[in-house]
Amino acid sequence: MRTSLAPRGDSGDYAIVCQSIDKRNTIDEHKFMTAGNGFSLIEIVVALAIMALVLVPVVSLIQHSHHQIADEKAEATVATFASAAFNKALFQQSYVEVVSESGEELIDGTTIRWNLEVAQVSGLRLWYQRVKYHEPCGGGSASGSVELYDTEDSAPSEIDVKYNDGEGVLKTLKLTITWRSYYENFDEDDPRKRLVLATRKARLE
């Protein structure tokens, strides 16, 4: 049975028409399905074209983002590695133990090539100002009560002969790290895959 509504005259009344399905109505129903309920070929073609236009960059973006995530993971690994390397050199190793070395390591899918270069600071001189001894000593050092010598500078070996052993007292450390993620090859010249850190290590023991 099919039901339809249709205005009946100008009175605002509507007629509800209930019809039993006969052959003629079945044909009408079929016409409705093909003309209005489905999608036309042109609609589908246009819709597919729009979807294709959107999906192509989406797919490429997803692939690109996979690489980017791998890059970021690698960079985080490199940052941790670099900090650990300098932490060891500055706070765990003695002054003489810190020497030039290099290596290659695979950490969490990231291949890291590192090179630690160490060199003594040459021509180092230390500046200071001595206080002239005076009597009687006072609790305060108000202007005029304490005299100072002029600023001097000395090489460490001039201050203490134990520093005259050729080891020096201050070293410059340069750590160069290059890395690659799982999907790429090493490119030593790529500045995006190269981290250079520098610091200094003092002879404190």
Partner 1 sequence: MKNNYVGRINSNLVKANKLKLAGRAGTPRTGMALWVVFCIVIVLSIFLGAFVTNRVEMKQQTKRSFLSLRGQWIAQGAIQHALLKFRILPTESYDASALSRGICPFFVASGAMSGSGSVEMAPLEAFRIDIDTAQFPLSAEFDGLDGYSYTVSEMKALNSFTKDNLRKHVVRIIAQGTYEGSIAGKEMIFTDELTKTVDVSRAVSGP
| Residue among 18, 27, 106, 161 that touches partner 1 (CB under 8 A) | 18
Rg (CA), the chain: 41
DSSP lists the bridge partners of residue 5 as: 16
Q: Distance between CA atoms of 112 and 114, rounded to whole angstroms?
A: 6
Q: By CB under 8 A, what part of segment 168-197 binds partner 1? A: 169-170, 172-174, 191-192, 195-197
Residue 103 in the binding site for partner 1 (CB under 8 A): no
Let me know: does 99 contact 172? Beta carbons within 8 Å: no
Interface pattern 83-102 for partner 1 (x via CB under 8 A): x--x---x------------
Q: Say which amino acid occupies 119.
A: A
Tell the smallest beta-carbon distance from residue 23 to partner 1 (Å).
Answer: 13
DSSP lists the bridge partners of residue 112 as: 105, 179
Residue 72 in the binding site for partner 1 (CB under 8 A): yes
Let me know: does 151 contact 106? Beta carbons within 8 Å: no
Nearer to partner 1, 39 or 165 (CB): 39
Q: Distance between CA atoms of 126 and 179, rounded to whole angstroms?
A: 39
| Residue among 10, 106, 143, 165 that touches partner 1 (CB under 8 A) | 143
| Residue among 79, 96, 99, 107 that touches partner 1 (CB under 8 A) | 79
| Residue among 10, 23, 106, 142 that touches partner 1 (CB under 8 A) | 142
The Cα angle at residue 183 between residues 178 and 185, in degrees rounded to 5: 45
Interface pattern 26-65 for partner 1 (x via CB under 8 A): ------x--xxx-xx--xx-xx--xx--x---x--x---x
Residue 24 in the binding site for partner 1 (CB under 8 A): no
| Residue among 4, 34, 106, 189 that touches partner 1 (CB under 8 A) | 4
Tell the smallest beta-carbon distance from residue 169 to partner 1 (Å).
Answer: 6
- 136: preceding bond cis by omega (within 30 degrees): yes
Q: DSSP secondary structure string, 108-123? A: TTEEEEEEEEEEEPTT
